[in-house]
């Protein structure tokens, strides 16, 4: 597979620390000697990564308008699971998946990957069409999570949800009008959370395919949450319930 470009301090530093052998070159803005840059270059030196000073204008072109913060790296793609079946077949605990329905903003996808990594989701799944995919901007926002959480693009999300249900995975859709509240729902078993884009929510067919619709209780004046924030709330409560269930089974 061809090399890729990633940029931004968080994304590059995370790759250096997790998979330094995959970093082939690091391009750093010439003339910068601030503490943040010195720390990153020290990490690169300790990992034996070649550093190439580069004018800011060249970095701007390499990042294609993205906020590179003065650092761009040429890296080999990390091979994560390439299919949902491969993810599920390799698990040693009940599946926990984050399914995104129509999330098109790359910043939101990057933030969702970061949240998925934080709360141990085994994969993030999204449709191939009319949805964001992995780009350098997504990788930057994800701050390394694009290299740790498999991102699976599927042709038909509703069909994928039905296939998950056939595997015994409960499909829960987040919806503000749902009767069941998040803290009343049972979330400790195999679970796929489905979240829609902020403005439109879940599409009709996706909604109809879910086993259950669940709302996040909102106590203030704000009516809805950013999709990545909502994902964090849902995944956090799921992990809490799993921890409680695991503890209660101990003798």
* CA dihedral over 194, 196, 201, 205, signed as positive or negative: negative
According to DSSP, residue 127 is labeled E
User: At how many degrees (to 10) do helices 9-19 and 35-46 cross?
Assistant: 20
pLDDT in tens, 101-121: 989 999 999 999 999 999 999
pLDDT in tens, 26-36: 999 998 889 99
* Tokens coding 64: 């294609």
SS3 content of the chain, % helix, strand, coil (to 5): 40, 20, 40
CA–CA dist 34, 69 (Å, integer): 12
pTM: 0.75
pLDDT in tens, 182-229: 999 999 999 999 999 877 789 999 999 999 999 999 988 887 889 999
CATH T-level assignment (fold) for domain 4-75: 60s Ribosomal Protein L30; Chain: A; (3.30.1330)
The size of the chain, in residues, is 251
What secondary structure does DSSP assign to 159-173, as a single string?
Answer: HHHHHHHHTT-EEEE
Confidence of residue 72 (pLDDT cuts 50, 70, 90): very high
Top mean-pLDDT range of 68-77, 129-138, 228-237: 228-237
**Equal CATH topology for 4-75 and 84-249:** no
84-249 to CATH, choices 3.40.1280.10, 1.10.3720.10, 2.30.30.140, 2.60.40.10: 3.40.1280.10
């Amino acid at each position: 597979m061809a090399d890729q470009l990633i940029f931004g301090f968080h994304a590059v530093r995370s790759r250096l620390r997790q998979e330094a052998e995959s970093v082939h070159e690091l391009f750093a803005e010439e003339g910068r000697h601030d503490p943040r840059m010195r720390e990153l270059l020290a990490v690169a030196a300790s990992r034996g990564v070649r550093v190439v000073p580069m004018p800011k204008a060249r970095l701007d072109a390499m990042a294609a308008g993205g906020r590179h913060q003065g650092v761009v790296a040429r890296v080999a793609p990390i091979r994560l699971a390439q299919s949902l079946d491969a993810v599920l077949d390799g698990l040693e605990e009940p599946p926990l998946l984050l399914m995104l329905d129509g999330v098109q903003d790359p910043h939101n996808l990057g933030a969702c990957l970061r949240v998925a990594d934080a709360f141990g989701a085994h994969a993030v799944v999204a449709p191939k069409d009319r949805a964001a995919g992995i780009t350098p901007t997504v990788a930057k926002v994800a701050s390394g999570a694009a290299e740790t959480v498999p991102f699976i693009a599927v042709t038909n999300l509703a069909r994928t949800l039905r296939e998950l249900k056939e595997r015994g995975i409960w499909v829960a859709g987040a919806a503000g009008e749902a009767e069941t509240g998040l803290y009343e729902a049972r979330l400790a078993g195999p679970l796929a959370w489905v979240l829609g884009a902020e403005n439109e929510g879940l599409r009709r067919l996706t909604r109809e395919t879910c086993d259950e619709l669940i709302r996040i209780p909102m106590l203030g004046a704000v009516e809805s949450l950013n999709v990545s924030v909502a994902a964090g709330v849902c995944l956090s409560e799921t992990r809490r319930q799993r921890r409680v269930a695991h503890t209660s089974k101990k003798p």
